[in-house]
Amino acid sequence: MVTKHAYKAKPLPPLIHNAFSPFFHLPPFSPHYYPKIAEFLIPENMKGRFLFLSVLLYSTFHVSFSIIDGLVANGNFELGPKASDLKGTVVVGGSKSIPEWEISGFVEYIKSGQKQGDMLLVVPEGAYAVRLGNEASIKQNIKVLKGMYYSITFMVARTCAQEERINISVTPDWGVIPIQTLYTSSGWDPIAFGFKAESETVEMLIHNPGKEEDPACGPLIDSVALRTLYPPRPTNQNLLKNGGFEEGPYVFPNSSWGVIIPPNIEDDHSPLPGWMVESLKAVRYIDSEHFSVPQATRAVELIAGKESAIAQVARTIPGKTYVLSFSVGDASNSCEGSMIVEAFAGKDTIKVPYESKGKGGFKRAALKFVAVGPRTRIMFLSTFYTMRSDDFSSLCGPVVDDVKLISLRKP
């Protein structure tokens, strides 16, 4: 007897979907892309073996890929050193004292609520974090898929040094991230860093290159997470990549801060695929769980005036007419007042005013232009600095989303 099995509207498990989506070129977590995957015949005496194979495949992918989107091993540092490996807060038990991590230099294990002089040290998630003193570092080996793109999101707080910065590297990629500017009043900023895996195991290193008189003035680190990125491609319906910003870094589900995309991020391994941050200050990546987003589930907030800009270079045909359309709004985060988003397409520009009440909402805008070269730089920035009305220490700004670039058949 032969039994006919048809897979219809039932979606693949998310982990298997994530594993296979690069090969099928399908966006992750999109069940409606699977109206009918396959239809084939299975002999009755093979049904048990087929079921076993299915379970085995699911188990294999569950083990292999379950760590990809979320905290790395002991990423929140809740597993700490043994009491005998601590001298006060300083870790003295050797490089393997913190489970799953290898440490070097002056590293402290900090408990939430601990005091440093008149300053109270707060931990954003759980009860513990680490502090990196002069030239101190933490590192961990992570299993990944060679050739895939990833983003690391981690929480960082400045303590008492004014010029603090973080050096993060995943060989051969590295970047020095300034943390002088605080973007949230909590003192903690979630920061993203992107890389391409050059091997199946990569070494992630977070290093404090600073040298202070007091080594305890180094930055605090907590909640280190990883997310797989699937670089989007232009289509005939949008010549821009990732125009809706749906592909981006891991956003902590229990955090209402969004994620900071640092300044001077290039396109090659950007944690926001397709986009560059061409500015001295960062932009904020936000999600619909905690903010008002014009379209779908992700968007970008321009939080530092003209010092906060995103850009992408699109392929165009000289002499052809194009339309750049996009949404401008506010994140419903008490960011109130008159805002202006400036959009550029090569040498053409448009200024889009938006009067924000800080409670959400958006408007559409469009810029029609004629391409003058084979590549056109698309860029967005905010004209003004804006502060939240309920928190005068937190920068905010207009939201940009649903960016589309299409060519017109007739100029």
Enter the tokens of residue 26: 């399908």
149 forms beta bridges with 196, 229
* Contact predicate 330/354, CB 8 Å: yes
* Contact predicate 377/313, CB 8 Å: yes
pLDDT tens for residues 179-218? Answer: 877 777 777 899 999 999 999 999 999 999 988 888 778 8
pLDDT tens for residues 153-185? Answer: 999 988 876 677 899 999 888 888 888 777 777
pLDDT tens for residues 252-264? Answer: 998 888 999 998 8
Enter the tokens of residue 36: 């009918």
Phi-psi map region of 29: left, alpha, beta (phi>0 left; psi -120 to 50 alpha): left
Superfamily of domain 71-229 in the CATH hierarchy:
Galactose-binding domain-like (2.60.120.260)
Average pLDDT for 48-69 = 44
**Class of the CATH domain delimited by 259-407:** mainly beta
Proportion of the chain above pLDDT 70, given as a percent: 82
For residue 138, what is the enclosing H or E element? strand 137-143
**Sign, CA torsion 23/170/164/276:** negative
pLDDT tens for residues 71-117? Answer: 999 999 999 999 999 999 999 999 999 999 999 999 999 999 887 77
Map tokens 């379950």 to a residue: 66
Map tokens 């949404």 to a residue: 327
Enter the tokens of residue 18: 């994530």
Enter the tokens of residue 409: 């058949």
Which residues have CB under 8 Å from 226's CB, separation 6+?
A: 67, 68, 69, 70, 71, 72, 142, 150, 151, 152, 153, 250
pLDDT tens for residues 131-144? Answer: 999 999 999 999 99
Helix 47-65 vs helix 14-24: crossing angle, to nearest 10? 90
**Sign, CA torsion 272/196/194/62:** positive
Q: What is the pLDDT of residue 250?
A: 97
Domain boundaries, the chain: 2-65, 71-229, 259-407
Report the C-alpha gap between 103 and 83 in whole angstroms. 17
Report the C-alpha gap between 280 and 378 in whole angstroms. 18
Q: What is the pLDDT of residue 162?
A: 63
Helices (H) and strands (E) in the chain, counts: 2, 30
Which residues have CB under 8 Å from 273's CB, separation 6+?
A: 149, 194, 229, 230, 231, 232, 241, 242, 247, 248
Q: What is the pLDDT of residue 136?
A: 95
* Contact predicate 301/354, CB 8 Å: no
Report the C-alpha gap between 305 and 395 in whole angstroms. 9
Q: What band does 15 get if pLDDT is binned at 50, 70 and 90?
A: very low
Question: pTM of the full predicted structure?
Answer: 0.81
pLDDT tens for residues 323-333? Answer: 999 999 999 99
Judge whether residue 14 has pLDDT over 60: no
Q: What is the pLDDT of residue 39?
A: 35
| Fold: same for 71-229 and 259-407 | yes
Judge whether residue 236 has pLDDT over 50: yes
Phi, psi of 203, rounded to the nearest 5 degrees: -100, 115
pLDDT tens for residues 372-411? Answer: 999 999 999 999 888 888 877 778 999 999 999 999 986 5
Q: Taking CA 169 as the corner, what is the angle to CA 163 and CA 172, rounded to the nearest 5 degrees?
A: 135
Report the C-alpha gap between 313 and 296 in whole angstroms. 23
